[in-house]
Amino acid sequence: MKPKRFGPSLYGTNRFGMASSSPLHVAVIGTGIVGASAAHFLAAAGARVTLLDASGPAAGATGASDGAVSVASKRPGPMMDLARHARAFYVRNEREGLFRGLFHRRSTFLIARTAIEADLVAQHGGDLAAAGERVVEIDRATLLKRIPGLGASVCAALEIPDDGHALGYEITERLLQRSRVSVRRNAPVSEIVMRAGRACGVAVRNEFLPADAVLVAAGIGSAPLLGLGEILLPRKGQMAVTDRATAGGPAIDGHLMAASYLAAKRGIVRDNSHIGLVIDPLMTGQFLIGGSREDHRGDHTTDAVTIAAILREALDLYPPLAGRRVLRSFAGVRTASRDGLPIVGLHPHRTGVVIATGFEGDGICLGPFMGASAARLLLGERPEADLSALSPQRFARVEAHV
Amino acid sequence: MCEAPILVVGGGPAGASAAASLAEAGLPVLLIEQRDQLGGAIHRLPAPGNASHIWRPARHRRNWARLTARLQAAAGRIETHTQTVFLGVDGQDRFLLDDRSKGLVFTRRLRAAIIAVGAVETIRPFSGWELPGVMTAGGAQVLLKETGRPLEGPILIAGSGPLLPAIAAQLAKAGNPPVAVLERGRPWNAPGALARLALSWAPMSEAATYAATLARSRVPYRCGATVTQAEPDGDGLKVGIRIGEVQEFLHVRHLLIHDGIEPNRTGIPFPEPDADVPVLLAGDGREALGADAAILDGHRAAMQLLTRLGRANRAAASDERGLQRARDFQANLARALHSEPVVPAPETVICRCEGRIYADLATLAEDASAREIRLMGRFGLGACQGRFCGPMIAALRGQPLPVTTPPRWPLRPVSVAALARLTTDETE
């Protein structure tokens, strides 16, 4: 059964009983990349937006992630397809001005260092091609010309030339600037207030903030608000940032993604000590190197044993990093769902509540598009892509059978 | 198994005093120092091969000779690592130590830690402070002590505090007196504080020596005088100065700036005297009271730790009295030299690592989080990780910087190769 659409009725029966002349008022919980995007597109459509965050803009995973806008890294299936929509959304908004100067096209190189890894990379390349993605086979000699200094163990690679790069906190800042929606910082929402089965506002500490509809885009903070403690889990990722290898522009001509990362994304390896290696050349000339995937870890600490393990992997793949210095280490907490897919859509039984969370490590890629899609759902419009695979309804159904 | 040592970070007066006091009480000590010799900024020795004739007050020389003798007498219980940099404490409570002579990062099982990493210099930013030719007075003093030679060409010293006449006198004695010393404060406007300062014998006799040296070398010492801007000028600098209402320009080769010191706390773990592995702070890194007080404070921290470990109970009242005297002196000095903060011009550089200017800082929301200041403002993201620009930003925003939790490591840039070679003595 498809979830019932509440959208068209929002204007007609808002809590003031006013006609459609009164603008829709949405409370957006969470000022990460998804919430900021939703707020921007809601405001652009004429809605009134109250934008809240328990801390501040980009305080969660948005501000503690690499900047891969990558289809190459996605699990085959709906995620790969949606990532293609989301990346196209970046391309369009960079062209039209919203993301100008913040999104950069660059290749992703999927890199194998053993025969087994080469099989995995080939299989993943096949899945990408089947999804319509351009995939270029690249031999070691050509690859060495593109990325001089690559390690001796690198034996096979694929280039995904249409991927890109954007920093989550820069995108968030741009969306906030353009929309002119002001953020209420240090405003933790304790409850979505319901009246007669539909949302009528949110409670921040002891204050009631009225709204016609509520978007929950609060990352792992969404769990207590929605009772999703069994469905959402924190997955910590530790990363390191180096000093600049070049004065301006990326130090190497693409994003290096080891097969170990694909293995984790495809669910082949599930181990808190597993390193899914990526080497992300930042626009500043620095490298961002990650990362770990530590389930049920919601803290932001980093430990030397894990960072050292990441660096050893990185040195094996790209030895010139030995000449760099680590400036800082940090950890981001990804919000993963139990079945590995994000949760985006109408709340199964709370009318007026839309959910957009559970993006795991794909929030920078998917975030702006998903925020815009959530805005459309709130406005009673159809999203640009089929989001049925992400519907919260799938968990409601499971719950009902238990 | 060997007894876990007590880590002492920093081989300046506070760290040396703490290490000696602990070792004298029979405890094993792991003493680390980032430079190649102990001494800290105050007792910095000439680099090997340099004969230094840098004059320093006899009191400081005596103090360091005593500390050195105590360290030597207890050398059997002190494992000293020079060229070893404290990188902070990681999320699993490891103290990370970067041995730059060996090119690897190591950790040890510890019984406790005393962190004595000294102070950082602060400055008040003005347009051009980031130019080549401008350096901090403390940095210049360290250079002088290490090389034994003064900077060449005309030197102007400006800012506030007792370091200004000290470095000026040392430069004069080394053969290149500065063209002038500009003190921002107007001590004559605070006669009460000045009168109380005069009662402190040791620092005032030191000050008198500096004054005499400056008078002999005819170095003008102007109060109520500030640098307003600096710009490149040939192979030197054109420096705008204001004395009262008068604006003037001076052409110099070097401009040394300094506006006091603050405890170096960026990324330093919070003191936890009652934790399983107790952490204490000592010296200027705990409270910037100067070199004499640092020796007392190192001893005080060692005694506090021994009490905590059940090894002694000798809370030394004499330490506390001496620290209070230093605290009173610093408070009177601050009162005497107080001056109102000045808002810098919008294009003034604030973060030199990332080239961020005051206008960037001013656009941040008043209640911006630590992450916004770092990521969106890009303040404190560079090689110094906010150690130098942090106090400046806090002063300009009129509020302490929000703390990054958990504290970040590495505190200093560390070689990728060295960190990849991490060695621990954990049995896992």
Chain mean pLDDT for chain B: 91
A119-134 pLDDT tens trace = 999 999 999 999 999 9
| CATH code of residue A373 | 3.50.50.60
| CATH code of residue A290 | 3.30.9.10
Looking at residue A9, what is its pLDDT? Answer: 43
The mean per-residue pLDDT over the stretch B230-235 comes to 94
Residue B331 confidence (pLDDT) above 90: yes
Q: How far is B96 from chain A (nearest CA, A)?
A: 8
A49-76 pLDDT tens trace = 999 999 999 989 999 888 899 999 999 9
Which residues in chain A are contacts of B413 at CB distance < 8 A? 243, 325-327
B365-386 pLDDT tens trace = 887 877 788 888 888 888 788 8
Looking at residue A14, what is its pLDDT? Answer: 40
Which residues in chain A are contacts of B414 at CB distance < 8 A? 325-326
User: Residues A317, A273: one domain?
Assistant: yes
The mean per-residue pLDDT over the stretch B280-298 comes to 95
B136-191 pLDDT tens trace = 999 999 999 888 889 999 999 999 999 999 999 999 999 999 999 999 999 888 88
The mean per-residue pLDDT over the stretch B247-262 comes to 96
Which residues in chain B are contacts of A327 at CB distance < 8 A? 381-383, 385, 410, 413
Whether A318 has its CB under 8 Å from any CB of chain B: the answer is no
Looking at residue A18, what is its pLDDT? Answer: 40
Could B372 and A186 be called an inter-chain contact, meaning their C-beta atoms sit closer than 8 Å?
no
Looking at residue B313, what is its pLDDT? Answer: 66
The mean per-residue pLDDT over the stretch B323-328 comes to 94
User: Residues A238, A371: one domain?
Assistant: no
Asked whether the bond before B133 is cis by omega within 30 degrees of 0, the reply is no
B92, B371, B404, B421: which to substitute to probe chain A, counting the most A Cβ within 10 Å? B371
Percent of chain A with pLDDT over 70: 93
Which of B91, B375, B410 comes nearest A301 by C-beta? B91
Which of A56, A312, A330 comes nearest B369 by C-beta? A56
Q: How far is B93 from chain A (nearest CA, A)?
A: 8
B108, B403, B416: which to substitute to probe chain A, counting the most A Cβ within 10 Å? B416
The mean per-residue pLDDT over the stretch B246-263 comes to 96
Domains of chain B (ranges; CATH) run 6-120+263-311 (3.50.50.60), 133-259 (3.50.50.60), 343-383 (no CATH)
Q: Is residue A349 part of a domain?
A: yes
Whether A304 has its CB under 8 Å from any CB of chain B: the answer is yes
Longest dimension (CA), chain B: 70
Tell which wins on pLDDT, B342 or B101.
Answer: B101
- pLDDT band for position A12 (50/70/90)? very low
Whether B107 has its CB under 8 Å from any CB of chain A: the answer is yes
Residue A11 confidence (pLDDT) above 60: no
What is the span of the domain harbouring residue A320? 107-162+232-337
Residue A33 confidence (pLDDT) above 70: yes
Domain boundary (A283, A304, A337) is at: A337
Residue A175 confidence (pLDDT) above 90: yes
Looking at residue B51, what is its pLDDT? Answer: 67
Could A303 and B422 be called an inter-chain contact, meaning their C-beta atoms sit closer than 8 Å?
no
Looking at residue B41, what is its pLDDT? Answer: 84
Whether A272 has its CB under 8 Å from any CB of chain B: the answer is no
Q: Which residue of A has its CA nearest to B406?
A: A301
User: Residues A296, A366: one domain?
Assistant: no
Could A327 and B371 be called an inter-chain contact, meaning their C-beta atoms sit closer than 8 Å?
no
Domain boundary (A297, A317, A337) is at: A337
Looking at residue A8, what is its pLDDT? Answer: 42
Whether A185 has its CB under 8 Å from any CB of chain B: the answer is yes
Residue B53 confidence (pLDDT) above 80: no
Percent of chain A with pLDDT over 90: 86
Q: Could you give the ipTM of this predicted complex?
A: 0.90
Whether A330 has its CB under 8 Å from any CB of chain B: the answer is yes
A18-29 pLDDT tens trace = 445 689 999 999
Could A322 and B415 be called an inter-chain contact, meaning their C-beta atoms sit closer than 8 Å?
yes
The mean per-residue pLDDT over the stretch A2-21 comes to 43
Tell which wins on pLDDT, B47 or A228.
Answer: A228
User: Residues A208, A355: one domain?
Assistant: yes
Which residues in chain B are contacts of A173 at CB distance < 8 A? 376
Whether A231 has its CB under 8 Å from any CB of chain B: the answer is no
Could B90 and A304 be called an inter-chain contact, meaning their C-beta atoms sit closer than 8 Å?
yes
Looking at residue B385, what is its pLDDT? Answer: 80
Looking at residue B315, what is its pLDDT? Answer: 65
User: Residues A238, A321: one domain?
Assistant: yes
Whether A63 has its CB under 8 Å from any CB of chain B: the answer is yes
Domain count, chain A: 2
Domain boundary (A284, A318, A337) is at: A337
Looking at residue A1, what is its pLDDT? Answer: 39
Q: How far is B351 from chain A (nearest CA, A)?
A: 15
